[in-house]
Amino acid sequence: DKKQAAFAGADKLKQQAKEASMRPAYNVFDYYYETGCFQHIAKSMIFDSLTLLVVCLNAIWIAIDTDMNKAPMLIDAAPVFMIVENVFCTYFFFELVIRFMAFQYKLNAFKDGWFIFDFCLVILIVADTWILTGVMWALDIRAGSGMGGMSILRMIRLVKLLRLSRMARLFRAVPELVIIVKGLLFASRSVCIFFLLWGMIIYIFAVLFRQLTDGQTVGDQFFQTVPAAMNTLLLNGVFSDNA
């Protein structure tokens, strides 16, 4: 009976794998218009390559802006930083608009995972570059002004950190990165189990050494308590070169 159940389970897995292989692969282009300007641009390899280039340039620009732009707010930055930030924001905004207009039924856009992801990123970019800067300009708020003080500067720095989320667009442009991340997540369970086993072994020997060296000089120096014994075994035993 057990063998039959095992074979039945294997046959079921084979059937599921066969059905999955026969199922047509998801392609967002299937939901685009068949004719029209927007769908033609959205399906273009040149458009995809240009978007990937802009994403890479934006990732490099984040490092340049971090090192050379000392202004806490974009409105106080040098003109070159304001121009470049607005160029990137404009491209990402219209790139999303083109892809949205390419959908034959607009609700299908919000069923596509990558579109939702890009939509959230563009909201952050527009909020950082246009909305927040516009509010600061309208209220005449500058770095060091009395309105809000340090709380406003902290908010500005937090929003600037959100710009790093733009680099996540590389996952869409380079699917191999997604495969690597999924592989790491799949292997993380085994790694966690290994560290759990490692911790159990250290704990057992920490208790053992704590009891065996009680009242001795070496015990008072290295194994005063169970946590201290675990720390000694970990740092001096496992990571002795970096202790």
Q: Give the list of residues 6+ apart from residue 44 with CB closer than 8 angstroms, or none.
A: none
Q: How far apart are CA 23 and CA 43, in angstroms?
A: 23
Model pLDDT, residue 153: 64
**Distance (Å, whole) CA 9 – CA 7:** 5
Dump pLDDT digits (tens) for 24-35: 777 899 999 999
Question: Would you state the pLDDT for residue 6?
Answer: 47
CATH fit for domain 28-173, picks 1.20.120.350, 3.40.50.300, 1.20.1730.10, 3.30.70.980: 1.20.120.350
**% pLDDT > 90, the chain:** 37
pLDDT at 71 over 70: yes
User: Which sequence spans correspond to the domains of the chain?
Assistant: 28-173, 184-242
**b/e for 96-126, b at 16 or more Cβ within 10 A?**
bebbbbbbeeeeebeebeebeebeebbeebb
Q: Which residues pair with 103 in a beta bridge?
A: 32
Give 115-144 pLDDT, tens digit per residue: 998 898 888 888 888 988 888 788 777 655
Q: Over the stretch 169-228, which tens digit does the pLDDT of each residue have?
A: 777 777 788 888 888 888 898 899 999 999 999 999 999 999 999 888 888 888 999 999
Residue 238: pLDDT band with limits 50, 70, 90: confident
Nearest alpha carbon to residue 108 among 163, 38, 41, 29: 29
